[in-house]
Amino acid sequence: MRGITRELSYVQTTRTWRKSKRETLPACLPRYPNACVPGSGLTSHSWRDGLTMGKLLAASVGFFSLMPGVAIVTVGGVGVQPVIVMLLLYAGLLPFLNAKLPIQSLIWVLLTLISYAVSTVFSASSSFSIPYAAMQGIYLMLGAMGFSAILNVPDQRQEFARGYVTGALLSSVVAFFQLLYTIAGGGAISFANNANFSIVAAYDRGAAFTPESSALAALLIPAALGCWFERQAGGGLLAPWQRSWAALTVLGLGLASTKSSSLMYFPILFLLVSAFQSRRFPEFLSSVGKVLIPIAIAGLVFIPLYSTRIASTDADSSMAWRLTKILAGIDIFAANPVIGAGVGLVSDSDYFEPYLDIPPNLGWNTDPRKGVDSTAIRVLAETGLIGFAAFYFPILVFFRHARRLSRSPEFRVIATMSLGLLFSQFFISGYRDQVIFLLPAVLFAIAGGVRVSAIGSRFEHKPAMAGGGLLLSPSIRQRSP
């Protein structure tokens, strides 16, 4: 009897303690194990303020990722993008939220920083490499901290995706306006001012807030993919209006306005994403069939616009120049296969130009003799196999669970956008200043640590809700069957 009395007393005391905690801690505590801890001394009001600020900053990071060509200030000749400021503010908020960074992303950062250090120490010009290694290291740490924390909090993950798509929609409208401006008046208008880039005038093409039209296409492709597959799934992280036909039409006009040759490869990327999201081959065929009519309509708009580039040989010369610089990057890698030539040397015209084998028909081209329009080739050329393995190893980890993860409502749009960004950085853009290109590696590194069972049937068919369970959290792995 005394034992029963002691047990009842213990239960009553426990209930009283839990009730008192509910009065001082936010109701979302079980759903945010990485964001707040008991005994912190913070009230429910202060936690909610922190979480609200976190969502606002997450949305801002996504939104301003579409504006790499804009610099709000220039420090020492280096333009500071708005997204860098947002990531700095978010990093400052991390202690307030008591957010925990996944060990997988920290390992990735450490290995990549080591590859930067090795490449810089043995660089063909260490004095040239040091500032580039420092800049890329700062971008790397900011991006890894920001994206890792954002992806680990459901509300912030949702706001980030919505912010990115909103930025893509705005950029699409601006790009279409730039195209119409040229058609109407014959001039060009540019909104990019970042000294970090060689800004190409947006003449007869749309570039919005990026340094050139191809860079905008590289950022719009992931948004278009994400909106389409969220629409086909009937829900997810995006707001209903962001996956509507109106939003898809605006994104399509934005992509067409870029007149980018890279859009020719878009169907291949679409097939890849469809394969990840389809359970069976008939479902894959159905997914592909649903997009045939929209692609046909988009083609009717894009081909007449693109024909103006073909008529002026602009498209052919652009692709030939891009291929020439990629081949130069491969030659640099062949000369320095293990540790690369050194961080930043692809951006050194004195080092890069001797590797350029410029065809006679491109002798008129006065573009800077530096840079590679592929992040993957640039990483190979500057940091060799060691740097390439360190930077891209999360891809191999992710693809073990890619199909299950890509079908989860809480993860689908982020995974789709990341695959689009991965495609873009391999084949379209090699700008080192586009911090959003770090998202796939961060995401894939984290996803590699998630057990497949964490994305079970109870998550797969459950509509995504703000504040839902943490998809990438260790606590889910413990609760999953």
Residue 311 makes CB contacts below 8 A (sequence gap 6+) with: none
> Reduced to 3 states, what is the DSSP secondary structure of residue 73?
strand
Residue 365's φ and ψ, nearest 5 degrees, are: -70, 125
CA–CA separation, 60 and 48 (whole Å): 18
Residue 393 makes CB contacts below 8 A (sequence gap 6+) with: 108, 111
pLDDT at res. 182: 86
Strands, E assignment, 19-170: 73-75, 78-80
Within the chain, which residues score under 70 in pLDDT? 1-51, 97-99, 305-316, 362-366, 448-481
pLDDT at res. 10: 42
pTM: 0.81
CA–CA separation, 295 and 269 (whole Å): 13
430, 380 contact by CB (below 8 A): no
pLDDT at res. 164: 97
Helices (H), 336-451: 349-352, 375-398, 402-406, 412-427, 439-447
CA–CA separation, 39 and 28 (whole Å): 15
pLDDT at res. 203: 75
Residue keyed to tokens 């936690």: 47
Residue 284 makes CB contacts below 8 A (sequence gap 6+) with: 274, 275, 278
Q: What is the pLDDT of residues 96-131, one digit of tens each?
A: 766 678 888 889 999 999 999 999 999 988 889 999
Task: Give the other-Cβ count within 10 Å of 274's Cβ.
Answer: 22
The string of DSSP codes covering 210-277 is: SSSHHHHHHHHHHHHHHHHHHHHHT-SSS-GGGGSHHHHHHHHHHHHHHT-GGGGGHHHHHHHHHHHH
pLDDT at res. 228: 92
Q: Which residues pair with 74 in a beta bridge?
A: 79
Residue 133 makes CB contacts below 8 A (sequence gap 6+) with: 116, 117, 119, 120, 343, 344
Task: Show me where the domains of the chain are located.
Answer: 99-170+215-244+261-479
Q: What is the pLDDT of residues 15-65, one digit of tens each?
A: 444 444 333 323 332 333 343 444 444 445 555 555 688 889 999 999 999
Contacts 24+ apart (CB under 8 A), 286-294: 287/232, 290/232, 291/228, 294/248, 294/252
| Closest of 476, 478, 477, 433 to residue 31, by C-alpha | 476
Residue keyed to tokens 């509507």: 244
